[in-house]
Chain A
């Protein structure tokens, strides 16, 4: 299905957020996620289903002031 990952249109086969992260290479990385602007905690990733057109944000630690 088509979704938007960090502002870019992509195609995935996974149905859940957990599986999508594995498919997209984030498997064991320290990242935080939001779907359609809402934070999805790590405990809910495997039960959060994605649907076509969803917007996924995957954030990681970065330099900051």
Chain B
């Protein structure tokens, strides 16, 4: 059983809370899928509208663990400051660390990411860094104190699935004992299952559920696919082969021609 900073998860789907048609539908998706971790963020609050307070009350009522993010941050300073604000409000050491470096792909700025991860780890945070599948960067993030790594599957919100399967397999093989969470770019349950079949420890996604015709049903589908993928990995897959091999025994076949 892999652990995420000492926390064991029965359900290995981590679900984002943005872009749902309504708060009620978000709550339904969380309940129906049985997720144990949801991501949340921080944004400017009006002293009169108080929309963030209602959202926070709903999340607390769901009884799930929250993983605050630093979404939208483009520098070490922004990300570190946001992380401190998140720790105070959400009362958790967990932080999903995002430092965006490129607008079209929302690719992480891995240089600033490593620096921010080091600062936050030294300050007692338990950092979940959103990164690429780069081996060297992952090594630096581990050196910085990260105990969980979150490589992207594809650009955030793209729904493309795993764009670099070979790179992700290499990452898994290179760091066999590090909890790895595929984060971002997943569009279908089959892609989430594929992630787990490759040996990843969890999948974090948002848009694929929130933008589905029936988000709660899709959340359940993802949850089941992730469980199936994990079981398949543990069961051990057969080796593919180029030529056919009859599965039904030839021995004992009647001679009828």
Contacts and interface: CB of A to CB of B under 8 A. Distances in A.
Given A29-B53, A64-B68, A59 B40 contact: no
Interface residues of A, number: 25
Contacts of A58: 44-45, 47
Given A34-B81, A42-B88, A61 B59 contact: yes
B152 to A, nearest CB: 12
A32 B68 contact: no
Interface in B79-134: 81-82, 84-86, 88-90
Contact of B69 (A30, A32, A65): A65
Given A37-B77, A64-B68, A30 B53 contact: yes
A65 B81 contact: no
A61 B52 contact: yes
Nearest to B207: A65
B19 A62 contact: no
Interface of A: 6-7, 24-26, 29-34, 37-39, 41-42, 57-65
Given A60-B52, A62-B43, A64-B42, 19 more contacts: A6-B46, A26-B47, A30-B89, A32-B42, A33-B85, A34-B85, A39-B88, A59-B82, A59-B85, A60-B42, A60-B51, A61-B40, A61-B90, A62-B41, A62-B55, A63-B17, A63-B18, A63-B26, A64-B69
